[in-house]
Structure 1
Amino acid sequence: MTSLVTVYIPTKNRLSLLRRAVQSVLGQTHGAIELIIVSDGSTDGTCDYVRSLQQHANVKLIHNDTSVGACAARNQALDIAQGEFITGLDDDDMFMPHRLERFIAAWRTREAAGERFSCLFDRRIVDQGGAVTLANAAPVAGYEEMLGENLIGNQVFTTPARMRAAGGFDAAMPAWQDWEMWVRLVQHGGPAHNIGANSYLMDVSHEFERITLKSGDRIIQAAKLFYAKHGQGGRALPGLLNSLGAYPQIRLSLGDLMVMAGTPATRRHALRQLRRRQFKPTMAGTLA
């Protein structure tokens, strides 16, 4: 029996990028696909384009006259998903042709072995416009590890039932929405496993916004919410500070770096910033 896979894409006024994302889904070697595109307040012809696809592909359109945000848009797609499996795609990224086929094969293998796991993920090919790197190479992402670092990235492969049981995406998060969702998914259903197929192409070379360009205040607000939900008595704090420090628009405090220096996994990054004097001269914690 061919397994139906739901793929959701939230989008807003990025039709040129959306077209290539959609074609990368429709060009999969696995053919049983339900593609749900959520137009979140688009006014650039996105809806007309999606409607033109519906005559020859299993494509569904949800259009919001007023934008509700990416998290709420993903949840709208999750609410109507009919697939046995589900995964997402950002409108500025692309699937490699073998992505869904490889995910299903890996899922069936682990399922047949009786393993407990919540989802699968893959390494991302990151196109930086002149340099190409690989991201999210960890072979497995457990709950404890995910508290301090997003080992998974921005997409997982799982079932609609598991995503719903974990509570869907939190629309109150101004950033880090994917990471926070995966933490709950892994906590609820078991570790995530990497299939190692290099099947997701992330494009950071275009002129549209990605999270790395969002305001520092917005990212710090997301980190504070994340810490309030998953802080676990401070265990996650060094890793969260380390993730915050990776953003060029955020400068950690001296107090933050002292916290990081006390943990082997984040000590090297803290010492490097101390040597470069890249910190705010205060002991007040950014997430306090």
Structure 2
Amino acid sequence: MSPLFTVIIPAYNRADLLRLTLKSLDAQTFRDYEAFILDDGSTDATPEVFKEFAGRPGWNFVRFEANRRQGGCRNYAMERAAGDYVTFLDADDLWLPRRLEKFAELIARNPAAGFVFSNGYILREGRLTGKFFDEGRAVPRGKLPPYMAISDKWLPYVTTNVAFKRTVLEKTGPFRQDLSHLEDMELYVKILRDWEADFIAEPLSVYRIHSLTSNPASLTLKWDDGVADFREALKTAAPDPAARRELEDYVYLKQAEVYLKNLQPGKAREYLRLAHSRGPAWLKLFAGSLLPASSLALLRGLYALKRKAAPSSDAAMAEAEAWVKELENPR
């Protein structure tokens, strides 16, 4: 009998974080899954981490000598997947213990959903500092226009929080490997053509901010490449002109915001000029782009201090943070 889930974890030089990721998978309350953990040609201690978890039932460890990139690793595992649903866990993220259990419950309630996702927490400097979306947000569900899978404007997912029916791949095909960052988004557009979407408002994962996810150079390069991939996803979705303009404005303003946070106001203005409308959000960002880099740096520093000092009043978040600390430092 096939498992309900195939869990896919690509890893490239993330030995420092992978151990905790695998511990979070091992802590799942729902056990009807298989896992593919793929070393994408790492040059660090990833093989040693693999050895620590060898022998777990259903865990398949694979090492590639040549780097295939994340999409290539995922495609390899999806070709061999036996689970009814495919789901991903990035090698630098964590799942809370009931992540698979809660997804299984949603799937049982709504078998028409081919694409499901959950909320998640953000971990920065050892603390949970926020969620991907407010649990009261009016997120759409059901049969949706495919373009709603583009960006987080409508569906606030990240791939480590996603699961989809394995059979959808028979029609959509695998991840496109000519895309560098948003191959997942382009695939999800195709899934929404034929399948319903559903979600869980409860945070069930932890997205870890670390040196690579917070480095200004790597972030801006990723976002620039992401804009090119975004345009490819738009071609796949083929939205009506009004939806296209709305999406383009949303993404261009997000890109401008990234450049402002990384103290590059000139680059921010380049993206602001691409926007179709000039609403309050655009005006606020444009005004910010006129500030000198020193002022932007001061504002960024003050915001970081405020975020670091602000205690959480969310009991569930505090409980999740305590669980992460216990996972890091078991008694």
TM range (shorter): 0.7 to 0.9
Tell me how far 1:88 sits from its aligned partner.
0.3
SS in 2 for 1:67: coil
Which has more helix, going by share of residues?
Answer: 2
Aligned 1:232-247 pairs, distance under 5 A: 232-234=239-241, 235-247=243-255
Identify which of 203, 222, 230 aligns with 2:229.
222
TM-score relative to the length of structure 2: 0.72
Query: CA offsets, 1:148-193, max 9 Å, x none?
Result: 6353222312222124432222211122222222222112322x21
Deviations 1:221-265 (A, max 9, x none): 2233233333435332332342243232352445423x133xxxx
- Which of 123, 129, 133 is residue 132 of structure 1 equivalent to? 129
Contact 2:10–2:38 under 8 Å retained in 1: yes
Structure-1 residue corresponding to 2:92: 92
Task: Give the percent of matched residue pairs that are identical in Structure 1 and Structure 2.
Answer: 19
Measured in 2, the distance between the counterparts of 1:3 and 1:260 equals 48
Quote the offset at 1:208 in angstroms.
Answer: 2.6
Name which of structure 1's ranges 124-133 and 13-22 shifts more when overlaid on structure 2.
124-133
Name the amino acid aligned to 1:125. Answer: Y
Q: Which moved more, 1:92-101 or 1:122-131?
A: 122-131
Tell me the alpha carbon deviations over residues 104-143 of structure 1, each in whole angstroms, 9 at most, x when there is no partner. Answer: 01110113xxxx3222110111123356111145533533
State yes or no: 1:179 paired with 2:176. no
Superposition pairs of residues 177-216 of structure 1, within 5 angstroms: 177-190=183-196, 192-204=197-209, 206-209=210-213, 213-215=219-221, 216=223
The root-mean-square deviation of aligned C-alpha atoms, in Å, is 2.7
Letter in 2 for 1:183: V
In structure 1, the residue matched to 2:148 is 145
Tell me, yes or no, if structure 1 residue 273 matches structure 2 residue 291: no
8 Å contact kept, 1:5–1:84: yes
Q: Secondary structure at the match of 2:37?
A: strand
Aligned to 1:284: none
Distance 1:231 1:147, change over 3 A: farther
For structure 1, the residue ranges without an aligned partner over 5 or more in a row are 262-266, 280-288
Q: Give the conservation status (yes or no) of the 8 Å contact 2:117–2:162.
A: yes
Q: Which amino acid aligns with 2:149?
A: M
Contact 2:7–2:35, Cα closer than 8 Å, also in 1: yes
CA distance in 2, matches of 1:110, 1:254: 41
- Tell me the distance in 2 between the aligned counterparts of 1:196 and 1:52: 34
Q: Which moved more, 1:235-244 or 1:36-45?
A: 235-244
Alignment of 1:1-288 (within 5 A): 3-111=3-111, 116-129=112-125, 132-137=129-134, 138-141=138-141, 142-143=144-145, 144-147=147-150, 149=153, 151-154=156-159, 155-190=161-196, 192-204=197-209, 206-209=210-213, 213-215=219-221, 216-234=223-241, 235-247=243-255, 248-249=258-259, 251=268, 252-253=270-271, 255-257=273-275, 259-261=276-278, 267-277=279-289
Q: May I ask how many residue pairs the two structures share in their alignment?
A: 267
> Within 2, Cα distance between the matches of 1:131 and 1:48?
29
Q: Which amino acid aligns with 2:165?
A: T
Residue aligned with 1:238, SS: helix
> What is aligned with 1:286?
none
Q: Is the 8 A contact 1:121 1:152 kept in 2?
A: yes
Counterpart CA distance in 2 for 1:35 and 1:214 is 32
Distance of aligned partners of 1:17 and 1:268 in 2 relative to their CA distance in 1, 3 Å threshold: same
* Distance in 2 between residues matched to 1:37 and 1:87, nearest whole Å: 12
Aligned counterparts of 1:220 and 1:2: Cα–Cα separation in 2 = 38
Q: For residue 48 of structure 1, report the CA deviation from its aligned partner.
A: 3.9
Superposed displacement of residue 40, structure 1: 0.8
SS at match of 1:169: coil
> Taking structure 1 as reference, are residues 55 and 67 closer, same or farther at Cα in structure 2, changes over 3 Å only?
same
The alpha-carbon distance between structure 1 residues 153 and 104, as it changes in their structure 2 partners (threshold 3 A), is: same
Q: Which residue of 1 aligns with 2:303?
A: none
Q: Say which SS state the counterpart of residue 86 (structure 1) adopts.
A: strand
**Runs of 5+ consecutive residues of structure 2 not aligned to the other structure:** 260-266, 292-331
